Amino acid sequence: MVEIVSSKGALGARIEGLDRARANEPTFAAMLDQALAEHLLVVLPGAPMTPAETRDFARAFGEPQTQLLRYKRSGDVPEVSVMVSTLMTDGTTDKTAIRAEDWHTDDSYFATPAKATLLHSIEIPSHGGSTWFCNMHSVYDALPEATKKRIDGKRAMHGYDTPRARNRPSARTPEEIAETPDVEHPLVRTHPVTGRKALYLNPNRLDRIVGLERAESDALLDELADEARKPQHHFGHVWNKGDIVVWDNRATMHRVMIDYPVGEKRIMQRVLIKGEPPI
Ligand code: OGA
Ligand code: MN
């Protein structure tokens, strides 16, 4: 029997007893997709899969889409990207990992950001490297009424890079640059399944609030991010090899802890699920 076990933290559930090969049968797919909208994060333990198996599993949540950075795409399965976040011996790491060290939501630099991200661990370090998630419904709910009024109806500009981000992103080819002009999104969005409001924040990509002076915009974005940084909104996932973790980009942010040993492999398969423009 398939069981959904809710985490005791701010978000997340563990799905027990599901045969992954059957996940995209209509009954299981509906159950998984609903669990994602309600819990915002689902964890399915199991063994490492091939890129084709991962893509087929991901179809339970919607339509897998190819990702911006071409060089990460997996050979004959372009919907699966291979993310190597191993720390290098020269003390640096993969650009993607450094960038993922601060809170963010995936893909907000697109007009139609991915609804969900699936990560499947192929190799994990002996310790460390957990991924943390933030519930953006509870962040919105916790804002003072005066702040909620200030941001009501406001829109914000997201870009591939912004000086507000702590770290710089991976380099893009001219083709990839052409696909990533700045885009505007609402600062508060409504979840299309549950109807709940969420703060749509992304400290890695969000440059400014439309219609505000730079200083005022910076101060307000900092104030909003400060609420999201409070541990009461967070849940951490400690990886086992073979785990599948799927999160809802419509109402969460996430970050990786770069606290794992240098040289130990950390390799994930990643699938993005096509979304709808935020409203
Ligand atoms: C991502 C990401 C975090 C991690 O794939 O979008 O932020 O723990 N990954 O690897
Ligand atoms: Mn990410």
Question: Residue of the nearest CA to atom 2 in ligand 1?
Answer: 100
What's the pLDDT at 91?
Answer: 56
Q: Please report the domains of the chain, with CATH numbers, ordered by start residue.
A: 3-273 (3.60.130.10)
What's the pLDDT at 97?
Answer: 78
**168-173 long-range Cβ contacts below 8 angstroms, 24+ apart:** 168/95, 168/99, 169/95, 169/99, 169/204, 170/69, 170/95, 170/96, 170/99, 171/95, 172/68, 172/69, 173/70
Cα 57 from Cα 61, distance rounded (Å): 8
Check if the beta carbon of residue 115 is closer than 8 Å to that of residue 62. yes
Q: To test the ligand 1 pocket, which listed residue (117, 167, 238, 246) has its Cβ within 8 A of the most ligand atoms?
A: 117
Instruction: Tell me, in angstroms, the distance from the centre of ligand 1 to residue 207's CA.
Output: 21
Cα 217 from Cα 227, distance rounded (Å): 16
Query: pLDDT digits over 58-93, tens only?
Result: 999 999 999 999 999 999 999 999 999 988 866 556
Question: Residue of the nearest CA to atom 10 in ligand 1?
Answer: 256
Q: Rounded to 5, what percent of the chain is helix, strand, coil?
A: 25, 30, 45
Question: Residue of the nearest CA to atom 7 in ligand 1?
Answer: 100
Q: To test the ligand 1 pocket, which listed residue (104, 119, 257) has its Cβ within 8 A of the most ligand atoms?
A: 119
Query: pLDDT digits over 239-249, tens only?
Result: 999 999 999 99
Q: What is the rounded average pLDDT for all residues in the chain?
A: 95
Ligand 1 atom closest to 83 (CA): 5
Q: To test the ligand 1 pocket, which listed residue (81, 254, 266) has its Cβ within 8 A of the most ligand atoms?
A: 254
Instruction: Tell me, in angstroms, the distance from the centre of ligand 1 to residue 213's CA.
Output: 32
Query: pLDDT digits over 181-235, tens only?
Result: 999 999 999 999 999 999 999 999 999 999 999 999 999 999 999 999 999 999 9
Cα 229 from Cα 41, distance rounded (Å): 18
Ligand 1 atom closest to 256 (CA): 8
Ligand at shortest distance from the CA of 101 = 1
